[in-house]
Amino acid sequence: MTDDLAVSVRGLTKIFSGKTVVDAVDMEVPKGAIYGFLGPNGSGKTTTIRMMCGLLTPDGGEGRTLGHDIRKEARAIKENVGYMTQKFSLYGDLTIRENLDFMARMYRMKNRKQVVDETLRDLGLEGRGDQLAGTLSGGWKQRLALAACMQHKPRLLLLDEPTAGVDPKARRDFWDEIRRLSKQGVTVLVSTHYMDEAVQCDYIAYIAYGKKLIDGPARDIPHKVGLTTWRVDGPDLIPLEDALRADPRVQQVARFGAQLHVSSTDAKALDDVIAEWKKKNGTHHWVKKEAELEEAFIYLMANSDDNFGQTGKRAS
Ligand SMILES: Nc1ncnc2c1ncn2[C@@H]1O[C@H](COP(=O)(O)OP(=O)(O)OP(=O)(O)O)[C@@H](O)[C@H]1O
């Protein structure tokens, strides 16, 4: 394992009740990266991340996280992990200070009063420590939850759908903060179903049925998925959209504002469709474009009930 990797694991496997839910996954996560795990419900994302962070013992495989053996030194890894989930984050009926203190206790921090005071100050909440956390707005709850799990200065941060249900401004602020942490060298692992979280990631792994099917830098993912995309705008897009969706040679039609992005993994078949439309109706403006992460994300998620590689489903 090189010094610039926060995580390097091979053959990671987990079996629950006789069912292999993570199947021989290899993974390398550079230090300070924001690494997104995409995939359908129950595909094994959380289980993979938990094994990499020393929170769950693998049934097979090996590797190191933050320089520690994931099997033998799980405790040392855990001490360096901050965990923020959408479901469990704060106790609404405890005060802001009590929540911060509770988290500091969980990490057995010694100088808790000082740490909590510092966190309150950093958050700009000095005068509001006695306020019940449940009375905070969604965006503030999220800032508090993030600050709480960073108090022990972890080098690895786990985020489970961190901005689900949060308004756009708070979401932007949150990702600004995550990027700041990543620049400071904190490695961030994000499990998500949401495109606007996926596009924040430097690296992406797509997991289905416990297997890692695609991974790499986010900018390489569209190429790895192999999508060809055409952008179209012009009048009467709704009938065009309906017709394209009904065409078996088109795998995906996604609306982006006043445009449609029309995609397929079969470039030739798609080009034929577009050529026919250009001939039939000259009022639309068609441009072939590089597929971007948004289209790749929609494609992966829309096809995620099927075995990967099978197509035929369409995103909307
Ligand atoms: N502690 C456990 N005991 C038994 N089965 C489990 C346990 N944890 C997870 N599983 C099962 O393992 C499979 C993978 O779950 P996991 O939570 O890793 O998936 P996921 O991709 O993170 O899903 P989601 O996106 O819904 O959170 C699921 O079928 C789940 O029910």
pLDDT tens-place string over residues 218-239: 999 999 999 999 999 999 899 9
Instruction: Give the residue-averaged pLDDT of 4-31.
Output: 96
Last residue of some domain: 174, 195, 221? 221
Banded model confidence at residue 316, pLDDT cuts 50, 70, 90:
very low
Shortest-distance atom of ligand 1 to CA 193:
25
- Is the pLDDT at 310 greater than 80? The verdict is no
Average pLDDT of every residue of the chain? 90
What is the DSSP-derived secondary structure letter of residue 289? E
- What is the structure's pLDDT at 311? 40
CATH number for 20 = 3.40.50.300
**Assigned domain for 14 exists:** yes
Residue 144 sits in the same domain as residue 65 = yes
Ligand 1 centroid – CA 83 distance (Å): 17
Per the confidence metrics, is the pTM higher than 0.90?
Answer: no
pLDDT tens readout for residues 105-158: 988 898 999 999 999 999 999 889 999 999 998 888 889 999 999 999 999 999
Burial 92-112 (b: 16+ CB within 10 A, else e): eeebbbbbbbebbeebebeeb
Shortest-distance atom of ligand 1 to CA 43:
21
3-state secondary structure of 258: coil
Q: Is 44 in the pocket of ligand 1 (CB under 6 A)?
A: yes
- Is the pLDDT at 171 greater than 90? The verdict is no
Ligand 1 centroid – CA 44 distance (Å): 6
Give the closest residue (by CA) to ligand 1 atom 3: 16
Residue 166 sits in the same domain as residue 248 = no
Shortest-distance atom of ligand 1 to CA 160:
27
pLDDT tens readout for residues 61-99: 999 999 999 999 999 999 999 998 766 578 899 999 999
Q: Is 34 in the pocket of ligand 1 (CB under 6 A)?
A: no
Mutate to test the pocket of ligand 1, among 21, 41, 87, 194 (most ligand atoms within 8 A of CB): 21
What whole-number percentage of the chain has pLDDT above 90?
69
Residue 149 sits in the same domain as residue 9 = yes
Shortest-distance atom of ligand 1 to CA 49:
18
**Assigned domain for 215 exists:** yes
Report the alpha-carbon distance of residue 288 to residue 291 in Å, rounded: 9
3-state secondary structure of 138: helix
Banded model confidence at residue 1, pLDDT cuts 50, 70, 90:
low
Report yes or no: 247 and 273 within 8 Å, Cβ to Cβ. Answer: yes
Residue 192 sits in the same domain as residue 231 = no
Pairing of strands 68-69, 81-85: unpaired
Mutate to test the pocket of ligand 1, among 45, 191, 206 (most ligand atoms within 8 A of CB): 45
Last residue of some domain: 221, 241, 264? 221
Give the closest residue (by CA) to ligand 1 atom 4: 16
Give the closest residue (by CA) to ligand 1 atom 24: 41
Q: What is the ipTM, given to two decimal places?
A: 0.96
Residue 116 sits in the same domain as residue 262 = no
Element (H, E) at 160: strand 156-160
Give the closest residue (by CA) to ligand 1 atom 2: 16
Based on C-alpha coordinates, what's the Rg of the chain?
22
Banded model confidence at residue 309, pLDDT cuts 50, 70, 90:
very low
What is the domain extent for residue 183?
A: 5-221
CATH number for 270 = 3.30.70
